Amino acid sequence: MVIRRLLLRYLVLFVVICCSVSCLTGCGANELDQDPQHSEETPAADAETAENDSGQAAEITEEEKIESLYRECAKLTYCIFTSSDNNGTGFLYNGKYVITNAHVLYEADDFYLKDIEGNEHKGSVVFRDDSADIAVIRLEEEKEGSVCFGDSDTVAVGEQLLMIGNPYNGDPFSFCTGRRLELDEEFRHLIDRREQFIPLDADIVSGYSGGPAFNMAGELIGISNAAYIGDLSAYDFDHLSLIIPINRVRDLIDENCK
């Protein structure tokens, strides 16, 4: 009897051990099966997201790109309102200076600036050069930000620029685009000293003077200066506007914005 009882105990113990081993092996197998599935699904989801993001970026229109660029660049732009009603535009440089055309401030006893949010700012003229048509205004309160100068010598014929201005129609902020024109001897009579400007087929109107001209990377390429008013029906462009290349006045700006 004693031997039978011992045999039964060993048999029961053997069965328990086998069941335990079987359960442990089963759990381990389930976990190992789940991990590879999870690791395979995650990259697939990321790839799908990346593909979607890429697809959305590809669907952005040229107009939407320009609108986005305008919203960013307009944060560094100021409308200038003068006592002589000779309104214009300027741009922020090194946080405390606004650069504009000298002729914007012509015969103005007083002026104020307005940013894209509608806030008014006061400043004083610290430099003016009528021959270069550049004026530097120092703000009473320093602001954050500055335009980033580009290389105006690299602007190719046909390259598109974005101009921001303060048009005469009462809208405090507006923008237009234009592509660089190639003016040969045929157009000599249209403008004088054409080699000193970047000619664009842009519809720059009164109030854009002194405003920034950006390339599509958001770099400052020049300063809006003038527009040709006359019959262009004989040519293959509808508008002719002139931009002061930033390389031409960059040293002048740096010297007077310290």
* Residues with Cβ within 8 Å of residue 194, at least 6 apart in sequence: 183, 187, 188
Residue ranges and CATH numbers for the domains of the chain are 76-139 (2.40.10.10), 152-255 (2.40.10.10)
The pLDDT value recorded for residue 17 is 36
Return the pLDDT at 126: 95
- Determine the pLDDT at residue 107: 83
Would you state the pLDDT for residue 174? 92
Q: Which residues pair with 176 in a beta bridge?
A: 163
Q: How high is the pLDDT of residue 232?
A: 82
Residue 176 near residue 212 (C-beta atoms within 8 A):
no
Q: What is the predicted pLDDT for the residue at 228?
A: 83
Determine the pLDDT at residue 185.
Answer: 66
Rounded CA separation 39/45 (Å): 10
Separation between Cα atoms, residue 136 and residue 123, nearest integer Å = 10
pLDDT tens, the chain, 258 aa long: 444 443 334 433 333 333 333 333 333 222 323 333 333 333 333 333 334 455 555 578 999 999 999 999 999 999 999 988 788 999 999 999 999 999 999 888 899 999 999 999 999 999 999 999 999 999 999 999 999 999 999 999 999 999 999 987 566 799 999 999 887 666 666 666 556 889 999 999 889 999 999 999 999 999 999 988 888 887 788 898 999 999 999 999 999 998
pTM of the model: 0.74
